[in-house]
Structure 1
Amino acid sequence: MTTTTTPTSMNRAVRNFDKPLWRRLVLNRESATVVLLILVIAVSMATVRGFSQPITLNYLLLDTAPILLIALPMTLVMITGEIDLSVGSMVGLASVVTGLGVQAGLPFGVAAVMALLAGAIGGAVNGFLVTVAGLPSLAVTIGTLALFRGLAVGLLGTTAVTDFPEMWTALAKAKISGTTIPYIMVPFLILLAIFIVMLHFTPFGRGIYAIGLSKDAARFSGVHVERTKFILFVLTGLVSAFAGVYYTLRFGSARGDNATGLELQVIAAVVLGGVSVFGGRGQLYGVVAAVLLIGVISSALRLAGITSDVINVITGALLVLSVVSASVLAWLQRARRRPGRPPHLAASTAS
């Protein structure tokens, strides 16, 4: 009878549960991101003039809403070990489709549904090329990033559509009565609850983690790997299109270059929130905290008079630091478990 060795990724998954529950919940990257968010908010309120004003929270949530929305399905995609770089261009394409629909005399609701349909089709194209054609998601979504952006610019040219119903544009910026929280947080919280249940409390979600750890092991365990990935890409396109409709109403303008570079902000937040770039780990609360952390830092720096170029440098440095720190921690854990190490070295490392 032949023996088989357990893959390293599966060993990692088992070792994650050899610690008490409180340690798994508290001593992780997600909790560290939450703590860092609280510290940055406290420091900003104490040192940055105007940061503690209620209007700052309102604009912070309005600005980060598209990233918060797209980060939800992106988290699930990256946990499977894939990536979708086309989300920013899909926001732009959905914006253009919405604008063209309104310009053609269609009711805004119909134009928005057309944009959502375009997002679902774009996600299905990505999913088909990755799961059926077997192409790497990085190459596929780089290609569709250019494709969707080219379609958006080609359909509308260099012009912009700005004639949207005032009721809808006002709703996109309106606040919940008696608060400074914008209404866009309501659909976000609904989607957040749906994605949390789907990822953490269903067999479908457990399959997502299994695919990220080992797609072959997941397939032999009964997980429909290709179907799961296809669904996630469709969801990513659909939610990105919804973010594009909101983006259009938020700024009152449909342009082909809307949301250029947004995909990098989404991926930075997802990685900073604790999702492994190799797949298999990550939780949504860490990603939400990371989006808010980047938003708080950007808002505080803008109020302090820092230019957008410097803010981008800081955001990029945070992303690099998060990736490097994860690699360093993984290396230290492997070093602690290396067989044949002298006991005093293992003890010193553990301390």
Structure 2
Amino acid sequence: MEHKTELDNQGYIQRSLLDKKEFTFKGFFLQWEWMLVIILIAVMIINATLSPYFLNYPSLRDGTMTFLDKAFIVFPMAMIMILRDIDISVGSTVALSSVVMATMYNSLGVPMELAVVICLVVGALCGLINGLLIIKFKELSAVIITLGTMILYRGIAYVILEDQASGNFPEWFGFFGWGYVYGTPFVLILFICVAIVFGVILHKSTFGREIFAIGKNPTASRFSGVKVDRIKVIVFVLAGLMAGVTALFLTSRMGSTRPNVANMYELDVIAMAALGGVSTAGGKGKIIGTVIAVFIIGYLQYGLGLINIPAQTLLIVVGALLIFAVALPKVRLPKIFRKK
């Protein structure tokens, strides 16, 4: 917030709060999102140098199918982090939603259309449980609570399916993971639509403004009449629902499911949100930054996978990139670049 000082008609000094800072080109181009654009361009150049098969439209188009399934969780995860919370159970929620859907169809004879709905309901229910536990046990951190539910949800998935795989889905179900709409992957189209919806909710609605207010000062928000507990529950339900959407696309892409699917998804999602500029201290973040970060990490993993880089090395690269992203804003800029 900034103050504006001026004289009224009687000559008295009037001071008012400005909702937005004055626009400056220097401030605009020093935003973190521009650094992300530079990083994305660097990733593209490196991948194109390492693999001649990377930099062409079919490769870039089809590559999105390999990483956009988990990207749906990034948006509610950004909201959760803005609220000063975290959810490390999303990977297990994906696994449980997928396993329940497959079991309903293959073992209980439920129509696949209904099984898809049940998958989304299970994801939302897992998110609801997380949210209710967090507002009920305020003395416990969200990390501890969602660590417990992460183990619980994954354990239930193992109880249901044990070490077995379940597949044999109808042919139309493969459209979620591999389908195209006018030459564009369906998952990419849906991802863009979901990004726009979450962007409007977070940056253009009262609900979004309340999320930022809670992240900056939860106590003041509560005394100001903001329904903090209800907002937290809604955001965690959204995280569970998006985990259910991820389960649909992941299961469709693989053609089957097991209890160990979506392993380490929570770390990828948190890394994408943090790289996108969402502050772990709360109260700061933009949807556009998370979108760019999704493509940075996604294309980095996809490009290095084209040259058969081991999965362990990919983890090292992503970890180093995340540390760089967290540390870079703390680097002291030369005087000419500092804001006055």
Q: TM-score, normalised by structure 2?
A: 0.88
CA shift in 2, pair 1:16/1:286, >3 Å: farther
- Cα distance in 1 for partners of 2:279, 2:94 equals 25
- Cα distance in 1 for partners of 2:287, 2:338 equals 31
Match of residue 107 from structure 1: 111
Please say if residues 49 and 303 of structure 1, whose CA atoms lie closer than 8 Å, have aligned partners that are also in contact. no
How far 1:121 moved relative to its partner?
1.1
How far 1:22 moved relative to its partner?
3.9
Give unpaired runs (5+ residues) of structure 1.
1-13, 337-345
Match of residue 148 from structure 1: 153
2:134 matched to 1:95? Answer: no
Please say if residues 50 and 307 of structure 2, whose CA atoms lie closer than 8 Å, have aligned partners that are also in contact. no
Please say if residues 176 and 248 of structure 2, whose CA atoms lie closer than 8 Å, have aligned partners that are also in contact. no
Please say if residues 49 and 304 of structure 1, whose CA atoms lie closer than 8 Å, have aligned partners that are also in contact. no
- Cα distance in 1 for partners of 2:178, 2:215 equals 38
- Cα distance in 2 for partners of 1:21, 1:279 equals 25
How far 1:222 moved relative to its partner?
2.5
Structure in which a larger fraction of residues adopt strand: 2
Secondary structure at the counterpart of residue 184 of structure 1? helix
The one-letter amino acid of 2:99's match is V
- After superposition, give the CA deviation of every residue in 1:275-312 in whole Å (9 maximum; x if it has no partner): 01111111011111111001111122122332221111
Please say if residues 211 and 231 of structure 2, whose CA atoms lie closer than 8 Å, have aligned partners that are also in contact. yes
Match of residue 34 from structure 1: 37
Match of residue 52 from structure 2: 49
CA shift in 2, pair 1:349/1:288, >3 Å: closer
Match of residue 137 from structure 1: 142
Match of residue 265 from structure 1: 268
- Cα distance in 2 for partners of 1:171, 1:236 equals 20
2:235 matched to 1:248? Answer: no
2:320 matched to 1:317? Answer: yes
- After superposition, give the CA deviation of every residue in 1:210-233 in whole Å (9 maximum; x if it has no partner): 111111122233221111111000
Q: TM-score, normalised by structure 1?
A: 0.86
Please say if residues 93 and 126 of structure 2, whose CA atoms lie closer than 8 Å, have aligned partners that are also in contact. yes
Match of residue 85 from structure 1: 88
Matching of residues 1-351 of structure 1 within 5 Å: 18=21, 20-103=23-106, 104-134=108-138, 135-177=140-182, 179=183, 181-326=184-329, 328-329=330-331, 332=332
- Cα distance in 1 for partners of 2:19, 2:269 equals 26
CA shift in 2, pair 1:347/1:192, >3 Å: closer
- Cα distance in 2 for partners of 1:348, 1:49 equals 38
Match of residue 11 from structure 1: none
Please say if residues 69 and 250 of structure 2, whose CA atoms lie closer than 8 Å, have aligned partners that are also in contact. yes
How far 1:90 moved relative to its partner?
0.5
CA shift in 2, pair 1:21/1:138, >3 Å: farther
Please say if residues 131 and 226 of structure 1, whose CA atoms lie closer than 8 Å, have aligned partners that are also in contact. yes
- Cα distance in 2 for partners of 1:149, 1:224 equals 31
Q: Which one is further off, 85-94 or 302-311?
A: 302-311
The one-letter amino acid of 1:124's match is L
- Cα distance in 2 for partners of 1:60, 1:196 equals 24
- Cα distance in 2 for partners of 1:133, 1:258 equals 30
- Cα distance in 2 for partners of 1:229, 1:34 equals 31
Please say if residues 48 and 300 of structure 1, whose CA atoms lie closer than 8 Å, have aligned partners that are also in contact. yes
- After superposition, give the CA deviation of every residue in 1:74-118 in whole Å (9 maximum; x if it has no partner): 111111111100000111001101100111211111111111111
How far 1:16 moved relative to its partner?
11
- Cα distance in 2 for partners of 1:92, 1:349 equals 46
